[in-house]
Amino acid sequence: MRRFLITILLWTLQNNIALSQSKQVGGPCQDCEALLDYKMLNISPNSIDTLSGFHENDPKIKITGTVFQKDGKTPASNVILYVYHVDRNGIYQPSDNPTGWEKRHGQHRGWLKTNKNGEYTFYTFRPAPYPEVQEPEHIHIYIKEPNTIPYYIDSYLFESDPTLTEDKKQSLKNRGGSGIVRLEMKNAIWTANRDLILGLNIPNYK
């Protein structure tokens, strides 16, 4: 246990040093450092990932896209994406032995790294809305580019969600581009595409 705690402390110290040396973008974010959990968990992100609970829950969904540089044309490779969402009861439910930010973000989370063409794909299930709260169904997404701190962009929202009202749509900041996606049945799975543009509507981004 002592060795484990020392490892965690060293990992935290290294992350804090790395973040202090990285470009500060995106504005305040209380939990964006959760993106860095993949290092502690010894995960090597790929351009394709399947989140916990995909096989056990319905409706299953597949989300794909391309990440572009600020010009909106040049594919951005080696960008880390961190996605997470609630379960089918609207709860951020951790596993029996949660590690790091899983205690708050729940077990349905994953990491991706864009390939040389800027592409990414992840498989998961459609999350439920929060219980007793008028908040649209959503999947959070944080980004870390090389040499920047992690920052958040607009969550994935579903066009077919009845709680996604016009007022809610108008309130969106479109960080990284619109997060509203349309699910279509393709090859027996609900599929959506969302391309991301680095720096778009992101504070302090140059």
Rounded Cα distance, 33 and 41, in Å: 14
Domains of the chain, with CATH numbers? 2-197 (2.60.130.10)
Contacts of 189 (CB under 8 A, 6+ apart): 60, 61, 62, 123
- With cut-offs at 50, 70 and 90, classify the pLDDT of residue 140: very high
3: pLDDT strictly greater than 70? no
Q: Is 107 left (phi over 0), alpha (psi -120 to 50) or beta?
A: alpha
What's the whole-number mean pLDDT along residues 102-130? 98
In tens, the pLDDT along 37-61 reads: 999 999 999 999 999 999 999 999 9
